[in-house]
Amino acid sequence: MPNRPRPLVAGNWKMNGASASLQELMAIGQGFMSGLDAETEALLCVPATLLSRASEILSRTPIRSGGQDCHWQQSGPHTGDISAEMLKDAGASHVIVGHSERRTDHGEDDALVAAKVAAALRHGLTPILCVGEGLDVREAGRHVEHTLAQVDAALDGVSTDDAAGIVIAYEPVWAIGTGKVATPDDAQEVCGAIRRRLRALYDAAVADRVRILYGGSVNAKNVGELMAQPDVDGGLVGGASLDADGFAALCKNAG
Confidence band of 38 (pLDDT split at 50, 70, 90): low
How much is the average pLDDT of 39-64? Answer: 93
**Domain membership flag for residue 109:** yes
Asked whether residue 13 is assigned to any structural domain, the reply reads no
Does residue 185 belong to any structural domain of this protein? yes
CA distances from 178 to 175, 215, 238, 241 (A): 6, 12, 11, 16
For residue 191, the enclosing domain spans 67-254
Q: Is residue 110 part of a domain?
A: yes
- For 21-32, what is each residue's pLDDT tens digit? 998 888 888 877
Residue 176 binned pLDDT confidence (cut-offs 50, 70, 90): confident
Residue 21 lies in a domain: no
The answer to whether residue 171 is catalytic is yes
The single residue of 71, 94, 99, 143 carrying the catalytic annotation is: 99
Total domains present in the chain: 1
Strand 94-97 versus strand 234-237 pairing type = unpaired
Report H helices in 106-203: 110-122, 135-139, 143-154, 160-163, 184-201
CA distances from 190 to 126, 132, 180, 229 (A): 22, 9, 17, 11
Tens digits of residue pLDDT in 132-149: 999 899 989 999 999 999
Asked whether 236 and 215 are in contact (CB, 8 A), the reply is yes
Is residue 22 domain-resident? no
Residue 39 lies in a domain: no
Q: Is 101 a catalytic residue?
A: no
63 phi/psi in degrees, rounded to 5: -80, 140
CA angle 218, 116, 229 (to 5 degrees): 30
64 vs 59: CA distance, rounded Å: 7
Tell me the HSE value of 79 on the side-chain side, using a 13 A CA sphere: 0
**pTM for this one?**
0.95
CATH code of 212's domain: 3.20.20.70
184-204 pLDDT per residue, tens: 999 999 999 999 999 999 999
Q: d(Cα 219, Cα 25) in Å, to the nearest integer?
A: 18
Q: Which of 41, 85, 133, 171 is catalytic?
A: 171
Within a domain: 230: yes
